[in-house]
Amino acid sequence: MADDPEEGMLSWDESVFRDEHVFEIDYVPETFQHREGQMRNLTYALRPAVRGSRPLNVVVRGPPGTGKTTSIQKLFDEVGAQTSDVRTIRVNCQVNATRYSVFSRLFEGTFDYEPPSSGISFKKLFSQIAEKLVEDDRVLVVALDDVNYLFYENEASDTLYSLLRAHEEHPGAKIGVIVVSSDPSLDVIDELDSRVQSVFRPEDVYFPVYDQPEIVDILDERVRRGFHDGVIGRETLEYVAELTADSGDLRVGIDLLRRAGLNAEMRASRSVERQDVEESYEQSKYINLSRSLSGLTDTEQTLLEVIAHHDGEQAGEVYEAFREQTDLGYTRYSEIVNKLDQLGLIDAEYAEVDGRGRSRSLSLSYEKDAVLDRLE
């Protein structure tokens, strides 16, 4: 029989992970720390729904990775445990960035099957959802997560208007809306049409960036659930928390723990060391970039690639290079430039150009190689 593997080394069927899913982005933690105030305010807004009335509308704001989505998931789970008279549906607006696709998701959440693929008019889609609510005497609470994507496509006002005025066309329909924005530069209320502003009037719940001691608490909880005992030392965990605090995004830290664990396994090591964290950070620090890129259309990706190769040039010059690849007109080009700018992927700076008045120069917000590698 072979000798025992060296102490501190993994044999081929062992793992440093107790439960790798704990480090996935969509994992909902059992204990949700440092967000008690926000949860209290959200619960208060939804309380009328549990009593059968229309809930208060809410705007949830805060940078990425501050616990907004998790709090909505927790809240919806709690409501579901209390009553079956409230239907809660969370819509990911990065994936569903038009009014029609938002309502298709609401249809699916209401009937448990997708609307007919042959296409059904918006009016009909909307009527069927509202009539079903009235018929079942249920309150609908809709969370528009990453609502900023609806704004980038100029679909936010129409979507909210339809939801907020539902009871006028369908008496008895009770719908509450939680809009969740992870774009700190977007003023949700200001950007809505006045017709929506007059009926929306939401409560405001803000999620600030976690500070370093809070990050240590949260990551420590994940470590205890996700890794076997003794896999990562306190000092290494503090280092992960430091890098996470620099990024301002908790998801960077969670992703970093997962990648560092995989890195340790590659070395057949039973413990995660500082070098595993350092090597993994090159990937983890770009988690937001990867997420933004995954939501882009082919045309938007093409433009970003063109900008990467013409970094810092004037918008007109970039357009010439873009048009060679796509045949799109300048108006559509301008819209895509604005969207990439709003997503924080590029900086579009206005500058005085000799003899030509004001012009925009377009430059990448990330290192060129980081963007091009992830576009491949």
Task: Summarize the annotated binding site for ATP as residue ranges.
Answer: 66-70, 210, 222
Q: Would you give the DSSP letter of residue 175?
A: E
Cα distances (Å, whole numbers) of residue 179 to 116, 142, 182: 27, 8, 10
Q: In what side-by-side order are the strands of the sheet with 346-353?
A: 313-314, 357-364, 346-353
Q: Binding site: what residues are annotated?
A: 66-70, 210, 222
Tokens of 268: 């057949």
Tokens of 342: 């709003």
Residues contacting 125, CB < 8 A, separation 6+: 100, 103, 104, 107, 115
> Chain centroid to CA 122: how far?
26
Alpha-carbon span 232 to 260, nearest angstrom: 10
Tokens of 95: 């994936």
Q: Would you give the DSSP letter of residue 174?
A: E
Q: Name the maximum alpha-carbon separation found in the chain.
A: 83
Alpha-carbon span 324 to 315, nearest angstrom: 14
Q: Is 362 helix (H, G, I), strand (E, B) or coil?
A: strand
Picking from 59, 86, 57, 91, the residue whose alpha carbon sits closest to that of residue 73 is: 91
Question: Are 159 and 144 within 8 A, CB to CB?
Answer: yes
- Residue 366, phi-psi category: left (phi > 0), alpha (psi -120 to 50), beta (remainder): beta
Residues contacting 308, CB < 8 A, separation 6+: 364, 368, 371, 372, 375
